[in-house]
Each structure stands twice: as structure tokens, then as C-alpha cells.
Amino acid sequence: MDILQHALEQTERENLLRRLVDYIPRDAVHADSEGRQYLMMAANNYLGLTHHPRVRQAAASASLTYGTGSGGSRLTTGNHLLYRQLETTLAAFKRTEAALLFNTGYMANVGIISSLVGKGDVIFSDELNHASIIDGCRLSRGRTVVYGHNNMNQLAELLTNTACSGRRLIVTDGVFSMDGDIARLDDIVRLAHKADALVMVDDAHATGVIGPGGRGTAASFGLEGQVHISMGTLSKSLGSEGGYAAGSQVLIDYLINKARSFIFSTALAPATIAAGLAALNILSEQPELVDQLMANAAFLRKELNQAGFDTCGSTTAILPVMVGDAALAVEFAYLLRKEGIIVSAIRPPTVPAGASRLRVTVSAAHSQAELTKVSQAICTIGRQLGVI
Ligand code: PMP
């Protein structure tokens, strides 16, 4: 235990220590902590659906009607009829033949990649891909070749020059989780076609955010049907929990049989599934929620850019405010908190050394007045700390 204590002390000296903070959400964008009310600018609740009356009602009714736990894995006794309904709705939303739910987005990435890729196969992975993709690559027995962020010349070169006796898989975040920029999917699909590689896109931060009706990255490029594995989550804009794979029926049948994170874990509770289903139906009925989100994000981005902040080329609801130094990013977030605003300071190892930042996330549920307050606070503190 002394070794652990020393490791923690070292982490603290490097300004990289993480602590859990308790919040009590009041609504989609306000939370209480230690007796004070805060404006939430750090959640991935992009459409505010966690607190939509229909979503809450669906979760409550499912609990009252079906109970609180599923009681088993999907392949044993946990395959509630609600699963089928949500998977059919997800497949229609993503314009694919079929879809399969996992318990989290993390488990989806780990299960999909480790079951599709084995010895002799090669994965081509963007250097800024999410940790769950990285862990999926590690769990597979294939070789992982990392290409520079959105560097299509390097990807082309690696596809040509990397020996591979088996399958090739190119995997990328659709919207990058810490930078908020978008994968160059048109180039990726073209290169994959030439190299006979599979394409997998993680739409965790793209679902409900980009593309017509919020249908995600492939839809935003007009490439629906050309991505072999479309992965996403219900945990961000869809106000619930869970991950999914959408694709061909054969892909889904394969994952049901081979993806260990699907097979060996208890199915999600009925309330979680019902909430996800209600949220997805609301998104389909009210695509204007996506327009509101994008208008809110554009407003805050413009204010920050005009003040001189670098937002890393983001065009989505994730606005990185580049700071550089880890201690400075922590100080920045602390001063914002004193102003009643919750923003995350993102430090290594989540981002590379020297690339620490605030990660500001916008929701359709934020008002213009709230976004103006956030922008003013970030500008004032940014000047005080010498960031701008
Ligand atoms: N992929 C990306 C790009 C993510 O940002 C996240 C979550 N932060 C995940 C996957 C994992 O999703 P979940 O939180 O549902 O496990």
C-alpha cells in the first residue's frame, strides 16, 4: 500500500491527481454541489434529454412494470423484449440492417474490436481515438498501427506498406472526444476501399449532434451504408446508458456469438433501455433539437475565438479551450467553479503533455444568457491567467 501512496503523491506533484466530486443534478444543465448551484458545462448531455419528461416517464414506467434488474445476460435470461424494440429503432435510425446493444460504449468498443480482430490482422487507429478503442485494440491479438490525427497521407502510406496476412480494420472516432473535430471519413472510406479494409466509426459524440437528424458521421458525409461497423452510445445525447454496434445482420450475429463483453455481462435494466428508446424517438420527432445544439455551440465558439482562444478546430458541441500547462488548466477550472460554472480540466494522460485544456460542452438546453455568462467568465479568467 505504501507503493500506491507514493504513486499518488507523485501524481499530485505533477498536478495530475484526479478526485471524485459529488453532484446532484437539478435539471439537464444545472447541478448542486456542496450546497451551491452550478451551471453544468462539462456533461455530454448534448440534447438535454436526461430530464425530458417523456424519457423520465419511460424509465419510471419500465421499472414499475418490469422491475429494476434484468436478471441475467442477454444469451441466458436477460433478453427483454424492449431490447429488440430499441435495436430495431437504432438500426432504422442508422440506416443499417441490424444493431446490437452493449452495456456501455466502452464495452461496445472493447467487445467489437477484440472479436473482429485476431492474430495476423492489423488495426489502423487514429492517435486521438478514445481509450476504449485503444483498449479494444490491446485486447485483440492483432497488431495496432497508429496514424497521426486525421493524417490521411500517413494512413494511405501505412495501408500500403504494412504487411498483413489477415484482415485490415481502420477505426476512428467520428467526433473526437477531446478535440471536437470530425474524422475525414470520405478519405478513410476511399482508402479502405482501395486497401480492402473494414471501417469502424465511433459515433459516441456524433450521434444526435452531426449529420441530418443527428444520424452521425457517416450520414454527415452522405456515406451511410459504406461504414462496416457504426458504433455509438446512448450515454451522451440520448440521455441514458449503453453502447451499440450497427451494421449488417451478419456482423450483429457474429458479435452475439463472439463479443465477450456482450456475452459475459448482465443485460442493462429495463429502465435504461426504455429511456434510450424514448430519447431516440424524441430525436426522430424533433430534429430541431440538433439545430438548437449546433446554434448554441456556434455562438459560444465564436465568442471564444473572437476573444483569442484556440478551440482546436472544433466544429461540434465539444469546445476545447487550449491552455497548455496542466496546473494552469486546473487553476482555470477552479476559478470558473468559483463563478458557479462546472468545466473539466483535461490533462495527461487523456491528452498529450503540453496540450492540457478546458473541455467545455454545450447542450441544446443551455440558454443564450447562460452561454453569454460562460463566455464572459472564460474571457475574464483567461486574461487574468495570461491564456489570452
Ligand atoms: N467512445 C468515445 C469516443 C467516448 O468519448 C466514450 C465516453 N466518454 C466512449 C466511447 C465510452 O462510452 P460510455 O461512456 O457509454 O462507456
The Cα-based distances of 24 to 20, 28, 32, 150, 240 in angstroms read 13, 11, 5, 38, 17
Q: What is the CATH number of domain 19-48+287-385?
A: 3.90.1150.10
Structural contact between residues 215 and 202, judged by C-beta atoms closer than 8 angstroms: no
pLDDT at 174: 98
53-285, CATH topology level: Aspartate Aminotransferase; domain 2 (3.40.640)
**What is the predicted pLDDT for the residue at 359?**
98
Start-end ranges of CATH 3.90.1150.10 in the chain? 19-48+287-385
Q: For cell 476512428, what's the residue?
A: 172
Omega of the bond leading into 349 within 30 degrees of 0 (cis) = yes
- pLDDT score, position 78: 85
Ligand 1 pocket, 150 CB below 6 A? Answer: no
Quote the pLDDT of residue 89: 98
Nearest atom (ligand 1) to Cα of 233: 15
Inter-residue contact 58 to 274 (CB < 8 Å): yes
β-pairing, 318-324 vs 356-361, is: antiparallel
| CB of 105 closer than 6 angstroms to any ligand 1 atom | yes
Q: How many CA atoms lie within 13 A of 213 on its CB side?
A: 15
Q: Which of 70, 115, 132, 177 is catalytic?
A: 177
Nearby residues of 331 by Cβ (< 8 Å), 6 or more positions away: 385
Residue spans in the chain of domains classed CATH 3.40.640.10:
53-285
Whether residue 258 lies in the annotated active site: no
Q: Which of 130, 209, 244, 346 best tests ligand 1's pocket when mutated (most atoms within 8 Å of CB)?
A: 130
Given this model, what pLDDT does residue 266 score?
A: 96
Distance 44 CA to ligand 1 centre (A): 10
Average confidence (pLDDT) per 10 residues, the chain, 388 residues:
94 88 95 95 98 98 97 92 96 98 98 98 98 98 97 98 97 98 98 98 98 98 97 98 98 98 97 98 98 98 98 97 96 97 94 96 98 98 97
Give residue 353's identity as a one-letter amino acid code. A
Render the burial of 93-120: b for 16+ CB within 10 Å, e for the rest. Answer: bbebebbbbbbbbbbbbbbbbbbbbeee
**241 Cα nearest atom in ligand 1:** 15
The three cell numbers of residue 291 are: 439545430
Residue 313 has a CB neighbour count (10 Å cut-off) of 12
User: Amino acid letter at 73?
Assistant: S
